Structure 1
Amino acid sequence: MVPEKPFSTLKKIPADFSLSAVIVGLIATMVSYAGPLLIVFQAAKGAGLSDAVLASWIWAISIGSGLTCIVLSIWFRTPVITAWSTPGAVLLVTSLTVYSFPDAIGAYIFSAVVITLVGVSGLFSVLMKYVPQSITTAMLAGILLSFGVEVFVSMQHLPALALPMIFCYLFAKRWSPRYAVVLTLFVGLGVAFLLGRLQMDNVQMSLVQPVFTMPTFSLDAIIGLGIPLCIVALASQNAPGISVLKADGYDTPAGPLVTTTGIASLLLAPFGSPGINLAAITAAICTGKEAHPDHTKRYIAGIACGGFYLLFGMFGATMASVFAALPKELIAVIAGLALFASLSSSLAQAMSEAKERECALVTFLVTISGISIGGIGAAFWGLIAGVITHLILNGNVKSWFGKKKNTQPLA
């Protein structure tokens, strides 16, 4: 895909604007804050970081995600969604108790430099080029599956909220599919209010004062934290992120995306950001038909998502209390329903070629297993398992590399 001229894209925004894309961008932002941000809190509190440093951390990852979303979505006229690494945040829960925070900042910088170099060199693009699309879409389906399941788990936990949302989605999907997710969100908020489940009393609004931390470079922290963070970002975040774009028909080059997120990570590391990377879960929300029937106009969702990141990030830790005030069942249901289309299309494409079904199935099963080896999540190991299965079942390495890949977008 040839990058758009930014000014050309800016001129098209008024004509391409849609409420559905903006709401989908808001939902993607809500999903980003609702779950992963709680892991950030856990990591910060476990390390004994002050509230000011924690607020700066939230500000840094929000600003980095917002700016990269907006810039890349305009640049490629594609809904490019970025975020902070959830597996990376999980890694920090234990690591920040071992290393000093300045040493951790040094490890963040090391990781960002490596990721930037991988993006600039084109190495990431080369690796992604030779991974069969059936395997990457199966990996994506495995990542999304738990969100779809949570829709019905929430129905058991809070049926009075989940059932009206599910029925609203189904009826709206039949009569007004473009606004199905939008209407479901409003219904969910209304029902939660009537049930007394919106607890907004403890929300206090305040702007963030970013805190600069001078980095120190420790070999132990670089090996024990910097390298795992780098691997997690590339394997468990950027690879699925590229898969999401390809699954919905966007042939966006990986190099510039990875490079841009690496540079953003580098600049914001001293303010507490462990890294910015391509998103998978929230990207799937924005790249689907719920954003807009015309895939060339879904980039508005990426711009909207970036705008909400910037807005919410200015209030730092306050945003956590806002999302904590919403019932977790509401977040789970709206996220799962918004991902239904991406989940079904990913499964369909993964199993579309009979010769590659077993490879895709192995990828899918390993990904949903949730295994973690060496701090690297199941998405990466699912990818590796699928590739190994493909090589064993479908010939030697040369025949695999020479095979023409199916690049047809999903219907």
Structure 2
Amino acid sequence: MHYCLSIPAVMKNYPLRVALLYFFIGAAWIFVTDWLVDQIASYARSQALQSYKGLFFVCVTAVLLYFIILGNYRRIKRKELEYRCMFKENPYPMLVYDIETLEVLTINNTFLEKYGYRKNEVVGLRITDIGPPEDELAILDFVKKVGEKGFSDSGIWRQVTKDGRSFYAKISSHPTLFGGRKARIMITMDVDEEMRAKKGLQASERKLQTLIDNSNDYIYMVDPRLCIIDANAAFKEKFRRVTGISAVSLPLDLTPMATSTGWERYYKRALAGEHLQFEEQITDQESGELELHEIVMNPIHDENGQVTGIGCFSRDITLQRKREEQIQLQVAKLKNIAWLQSHELRKSLTNIMMLASLIQEEPDKQAAIKELLPLLQQSCNELDQVVRTIVETASAVEKEA
């Protein structure tokens, strides 16, 4: 905040008006009074009258000059008091320092409240004393550069109160004279909360970026011009392997590639506000392998609901798809085992149970056993074969798992 006193328009021509008024009145006085003296007095008396006339003129003009100067002096003092009041009661901490010694010459009330000093404790204080010790060289260098220059927006600096509490402040200054000494008025604006919030946000953004970069998924953002404006490390590496581009620098125009691969239609649909999820096969140029990727495109909206870009997420699901196919084969084999258990095994057991029942019902059991034994043996062999098939199939499924 730069305070200055503006001179009213009526005051700008005031000195010229006073001088012209004095000139015309003085000239009129001289000519008129000289003519009157010549008309009413002899030469001897005219000399005396000229002296009295001149003395009277000097007295009158002296009185007029006194009141004019007194009025100007009072106006200047009033403006000075207004300026001092503006300085002392300013809601922002302010101080005046000598540009050569860096000594604090005066401060306002807000400075005392903000920095915790008493008025007598400011004597001998230098502006480097209200900054952290590690910033002293930077402060000295900056003050030297500013020197007697005009208004300076010095940026954001750390400040230290009397009790050692530090805070961030936006500092500006402009030159002035104080008691005949070249000085600067420095204004500080507390931006500590904003800076700490900003640093916290930056830290969160760094953590988020680290988390994204450590992700195995390929994450990137596309603007309405189909330019990649941000991407994680995994995407940049995969993009390099797929396209053969040695180094991926952002922003990167996707238009030619999107047109040639047919992906332009996906981007246009997403920019129209549609959420997309689809699968595409991508060839890794370095390994020559064909990969299956699952791609998700989500439109990004601003506070007005307008689409400002697309958040894209791609994931290699090649191994996942192979695993799913393997699981499906295993499920088919397990279903076959279940079918064997429910049909073939039950069939053999039913035959054995039926033959045993026939033997039990025959009066001549020896003859029945002799007659039915081959059939019983056949059913047992069939049962054994079914059990072997089940065991072999189960072993194969276990090995594949």
Q: TM-score, normalised by structure 2?
A: 0.17
The structure in which a higher percent of residues are helix is: 1
Higher relative CO (CA 8 A, sep ≥ 6), structure 1 or 2?
1
Higher strand share: 2
- Specify the structure having the higher radius of gyration (Cα): 2
